[in-house]
Amino acid sequence: MASLSLFHPAFRGSRTQLEQKPWIRQRHRPTRVVLVSSIAVPGELRAGRGPSDLVSSILSKVAQTDAGVSLNKVGHKEVADVAQELQKYCVDEPLKCPLIFGEWDVVYCSRPTSPGGGYRSALGRLIFKTKEMIQVVESPDIVKNKVCFTALGFLDGEVSLKGKLTALDDKWIQVVFEPPELKVGSLEFKYGFESEVKLAITYIDDKIRLGEGSKGSLFVFQRRENMQRALPTRIITVGKTKSKGIKLLVDEYSQKMEPYCDFEDVQIRSNPKNARDVKAQIKDEDLAVMSHIKPDDWALYFALVTGSGILVIVFVAASLGKQFVVIPFLNFNAEVVMLDERGIDMRSEQLAELIGDAGNTGASRLLFCIGGPYGHGRQLQERANMSLRLSSMVLNHQIALLVLMEQIYR
């Protein structure tokens, strides 16, 4: 947009006069008139940079802005200009792009209340200080939104939504959300009604995703590091029924993990057929565990050993995986390395890296099995190719379950 700046408010001459007489002199008081003509075009647009530079530019413009709240009109305009240029590089059918799946930070919205409702309004921000806003898109059609905040400066809380995605065309989607769930301190409850939103995907790559709301809001999502997709997770535990205290803690961790992945806790009763000897009990428990693994699954296995038995991680890979070798479950010949309490330890960071790498390989499920008092049976052991210990101390199955859930969530 062209602009003219005249540093002499009393001047009333025409543009032609300005061009002909850039200096206007009076006998006793010389006055200089300066004509400035400029066009406000962002540098990255003038230079005609590619998508990589535009992505870096838009991320730098929205950084440290509280998702756009602290930006002025000029700042919002600059973000919109770069987004408009970036849209030219969007794939033809973004909804069919597998990059939409994964965990995303909401780093910008042109309307502050769009991603968080009343919690992000001017009044809401006085009471609720937003820590992070996350959106998880899970295959094939699940969307989970979460806003984490601190209320009144000392109470941690979060509000979460879970919805089902429907494609309207090549770019537009509709998401119908269940009633929101609010957690503040020890309080937890659902409120309100179902809601729905419409959003167009206007650009996507391995770093960011741009979206346009039905009312014109611009969203910028940034992929969270080391998170290409959220794997559905299942923990199978062999042992006695959980006590009330353990059940409360397991439920708490289940709810914490829900925004990040579909989680399932499966309990198998120890000695399900009341066998009279140890070998028969192990065999019965082994069969019960194996019944939860489909015979036609494609699998990779890793195992951990606790003082009370074997903890097995099973990566069940989709047949559509492209960047890793898929091995048939029934023909898998794994090298078994069974370790006891003197075996190899794994730090929390290493476990997190292991789980993250599994999500980036195309795997479709992550399965953990915690053995009973005598460990796992032969069928499951034969499919373990790596063994690690959860602790050098002896842990019963309930404590092992809590330790594992804490490490997965961490």
Least trusted range by pLDDT, from 49-53, 66-70, 93-97, 347-351: 347-351
Residue 80 banded pLDDT, cuts 50, 70, 90: very high
**pLDDT by residue (tens digit) across 296-322?**
343 333 344 444 444 444 444 433 333
For residues 386-391, average pLDDT: 67
6 DSSP β-pair partners: 35
Q: What is the pLDDT of residue 393?
A: 74
Residue 76, token pair as written in the block: 């919002």
Question: Would you give the end-to-end CA distance of the chain in angstroms?
Answer: 50
Answer with the residue of higher pLDDT: 113 or 56. Answer: 56
Q: Which residues contact 105 (CB under 8 A, 6 or more apart)?
A: 132, 133, 134, 221, 222, 223, 224
Residue 256, token pair as written in the block: 């914490």
Q: What is the pLDDT of residue 76?
A: 95
**pLDDT by residue (tens digit) across 48-67?**
578 999 999 999 999 988 88
187-190 and 172-177 strand pairing:
unpaired
Residue 385 banded pLDDT, cuts 50, 70, 90: very low
Fill in the DSSP letter of residue 267: E
**pLDDT by residue (tens digit) across 279-291?**
888 888 888 887 8
Phi, psi of 250 (to 5 degrees): -65, -45
Instruction: In the chain, list all ranges with CATH 3.40.1280.10.
Output: 233-409
Residue 144, token pair as written in the block: 């989970």
**Gap between the Cα atoms of 234 and 365, Å rounded:** 8
**Gap between the Cα atoms of 93 and 170, Å rounded:** 5
Residue 109 has pLDDT above 60, yes or no: yes
Residue 9 has pLDDT above 70, yes or no: no
3-class SS of residue 328? strand
Q: Is the peptide bond before 140 cis (omega within 30 degrees of 0)?
A: yes
Residue 113 has pLDDT above 60, yes or no: yes
Q: What is the pLDDT of residue 233?
A: 80
Considering the four listed CATH numbers 1.10.620.20, 3.10.28.10, 3.40.50.150, 3.40.1280.10, the one that applies to the domain covering 233-409 is: 3.40.1280.10
Query: Cα–Cα distances in Å, from 159 out to 250, 257, 343?
Result: 20, 14, 42
The CATH number of domain 44-223 is 1.10.10: no
What pTM, to 2 d.p., does this model score?
0.48
Instruction: In the chain, list all ranges with CATH 2.40.128.
Output: 44-223
